[in-house]
C-alpha cells in the first residue's frame, strides 16, 4: 500500500515542487516580455525545472498535457511523481474559474505515478455541494488506483459576495474538505504570507485547528521573498511542509539561460526550504 512516505522527506515532512501550470505558465512568459510561447517552449521549461529541481524535492507535480513523458523521465526515484488530474476552466490569460476531473488523465496512469492532485475552486455559491462531491470522487478514484490523493482547494468570492474575507474562507474550506480525508491537503498560505512572524503563526494555528489530517502550503499569491518565512510559520503551527512552484522558479520564466538561472536561484531556495521542513514540519504520521 502506498503511503505518504512516497512523496515525503525522511523526516516525514514534504518539500515538493509544482510544475503543473498550463496556460497560466504561457501567460507568465507573456508578462515577462517573451511573447506568447509555443508548446515546445513550455515543455522545455518544465523539463529544465524537473531536471534541476526534482533531485532536491521529495515530490514533483506535473501535468499530462505538456511534455509529461520528458518530465517523468527527468524525475528521479527519490522524488515521488504527482500527476495533476484537474481539467481547468480557464480563459486565456485569466484565472482558473472552475475544475473537473480529467477522465483521460485518470484512464491510464503510468506506474511511476505515486499521487494524484486535484485543484478545487471553493466558493459559497450554488455549486458548493457539487464541488464537495467532486472532491469525494477524486479521493475515491485515487484510492481505487492505489495512489495518493492531494486535494488543493483555492478560495474565491462568489458573484455578489461583498463581505468575502479570504482567510475565513480558507479555514471554512479546510473544515469542509479536509474532513473528506484526502491523503494530503494543500492549503493557501494564511494572510498571503504578510504580517509579522507572530501574526503568521497565529493565523497558521487557526488554520491547523480546522484541518483533518496532514496539510501543506502552496505559494500562489505569496511574495517570493516571504514564502520561506510563511512555510516556517506554518510548519511551527502544524503544517507538514509545502508544495510550491512560483516561489521557486517564477523569476526564471523567460530567462535566456533557464538552467543556469535555476541553478543560481531556484536550487538554493529549494534547499533552504528543505532545511525548514526538516527542522520544523510536523511529520505526516503525527498529523
- Write the pLDDT tens digit of every residue in 121-130: 999 999 999 9
Nearby residues of 10 by Cβ (< 8 Å), 6 or more positions away: none
Give the pLDDT mean for 25-47: 92
Give the pLDDT mean for 204-232: 97
Q: How far is CA 128 from CA 120, 162, 221, in A?
A: 10, 18, 23
Residues marked as catalytic = 186
The CATH class of the 4-286 domain is: alpha beta
What b/e sequence results for 248-283 when a residue is b if at least 16 CB atoms lie within 10 Å of its CB, and e otherwise? bbbebbbbeebeebbeebbeebbeebbebbbebbbb
Q: Using the predicted structure, report yes or no on whether residue 137 has a pLDDT greater than 90.
A: yes
pTM: 0.97
Q: Using the predicted structure, report yes or no on whether residue 111 has a pLDDT greater than 90.
A: no
pLDDT the model gives residue 7: 98
Which cell numbers hold the place of 147? 495512489
Do residues 59 and 14 touch, judged by C-beta distance below 8 A?
Answer: yes
Amino acid at each position: 500500500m502506498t503511503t505518504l512516505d512516497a512523496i515525503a522527506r525522511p523526516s516525514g515532512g514534504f518539500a515538493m515542487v509544482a510544475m503543473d501550470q498550463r496556460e497560466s505558465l504561457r501567460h507568465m512568459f507573456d508578462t515577462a516580455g517573451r511573447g506568447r510561447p509555443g508548446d515546445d517552449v513550455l515543455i522545455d521549461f518544465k523539463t529544465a525545472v524537473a531536471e534541476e529541481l526534482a533531485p532536491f524535492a521529495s515530490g514533483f507535480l506535473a501535468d499530462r498535457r505538456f511534455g509529461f513523458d520528458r518530465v517523468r523521465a527527468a524525475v528521479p526515484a527519490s522524488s515521488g511523481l504527482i500527476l495533476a488530474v484537474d481539467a481547468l476552466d480557464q480563459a486565456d490569460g485569466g484565472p482558473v474559474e472552475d475544475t473537473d476531473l480529467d477522465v483521460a488523465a485518470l484512464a491510464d496512469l503510468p506506474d511511476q505515478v505515486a499521487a494524484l492532485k486535484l485543484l478545487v475552486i471553493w466558493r459559497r455559491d450554488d455549486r458548493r455541494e457539487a464541488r464537495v462531491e467532486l472532491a469525494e470522487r477524486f479521493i475515491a478514484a485515487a484510492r481505487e488506483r492505489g495512489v495518493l490523493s492531494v486535494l488543493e482547494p483555492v478560495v474565491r468570492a462568489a458573484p455578489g459576495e461583498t463581505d468575502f474575507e479570504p482567510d475565513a474562507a480558507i479555514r471554512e474550506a479546510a473544515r469542509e474538505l479536509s474532513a473528506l480525508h484526502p491523503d494530503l491537503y494543500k492549503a493557501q498560505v494564511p494572510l498571503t504570507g504578510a504580517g509579522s512572524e507572530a501574526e503568521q503563526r497565529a493565523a497558521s494555528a487557526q488554520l491547523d485547528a480546522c484541518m483533518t489530517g496532514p496539510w501543506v502550503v502552496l505559494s500562489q499569491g505569496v511574495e517570493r521573498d516571504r514564502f520561506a518565512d510563511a512555510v516556517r510559520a506554518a510548519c511551527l503551527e502544524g503544517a507538514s511542509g509545502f508544495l510550491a512552484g512560483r516561489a521557486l522558479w517564477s523569476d526564471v520564466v523567460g530567462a535566456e539561460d533557464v538552467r543556469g538561472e535555476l541553478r543560481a536561484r531556484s536550487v538554493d531556495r529549494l534547499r533552504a526550504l528543505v532545511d525548514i521542513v526538516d527542522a520544523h514540519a510536523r511529520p505526516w504520521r503525527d498529523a
